[in-house]
Amino acid sequence: MTEKNFIFSILYDYYGDLLKDSQSNIIDLYYNQDYSLSEIAEEISISRQGVYDALKRAEKSLMEYEEKIKLHYKYDKYSKAAENIISLADKIKDKIYIDTINEIKAQANKIINEG
Amino acid sequence: MTEKNFIFSILYDYYGDLLKDSQSNIIDLYYNQDYSLSEIAEEISISRQGVYDALKRAEKSLMEYEEKIKLHYKYDKYSKAAENIISLADKIKDKIYIDTINEIKAQANKIINEG
């Protein structure tokens, strides 16, 4: 087994609700709750190979959703723009604008924190 | 037939790639190309009732995708925050900050224009 790729944990946050319950459960156990394949096999009473196959199918589905919908890609762009806004706002040093700057930063943080 | 609800045109932009080709085609013709049900029926050689049923199923799928993934809802929030950032930035009147303000607005416009 190769190392766990936690991009699937992120994609699961976005698209997990589109997976079948059984696949959703396996991704959650493997990536979010750090179970091994053997532990999942025991937990849901199927073979280790069965878990592996279901996991690969679920990962493939998550990648296909991202290719079609691009939510992770878009959110990544939005949050980078919002981070740039925050560092630009910090360049404005006049105390007279402090409330405005703080509001700009609060609005940008809304974008960053609500992905 | 009730009036066309153009929320489906927006949801189609986000989730159209998840629909079956036949459903995708019907939504596109009906909402984006402004065909009537009868015109679509003639175009794809099925009954008007068949078109109507397929359209309703496709609309239901689009609504379910939005309920699960919330891309339209999220983008709406992000773009409102970005619009607030632009009007806040416009409150900073000192000429010394003009480049910074323009950069802030350009970053916010990236969010607004790339939904």
Higher pLDDT, A32 or B1: A32
Residues A56 and A76 in one domain: no
Judge whether residue A1 has pLDDT over 60: no
Cβ-defined contact of A114 to B14 (cutoff 8 Å): no
B11 belongs to a structural domain: yes
Cβ-defined contact of B82 to A18 (cutoff 8 Å): no
Task: Write out the two tokens for A115.
Answer: 């992905």
Place of tokens 């806004």: A85
Q: Which domain holds residue A48?
A: 7-69
Q: What is the mean pLDDT of residues B35-56?
A: 96
The domain total for chain B is 2
pTM for the complete prediction? 0.86
Mean pLDDT over the full length of chain A:
94
CA separation for the pair A62, A40 (Å, rounded) = 19
B1 belongs to a structural domain: no
A17: nearest CB among B68, B74, B94 = B68
Query: Which pLDDT band, with edges at 50, 70 and 90, does A4 fall under?
Result: confident
The pLDDT, as a whole number, for residue A73 is: 94
Residues A46 and A92 in one domain: no
Ranges of H-type helices in A46-97:
48-69, 71-89
Q: Which residues of A touch B68 (CB under 8 A)?
A: 17-18
ipTM above 0.90, yes or no: no
Q: Which amino acid is at B106?
A: A
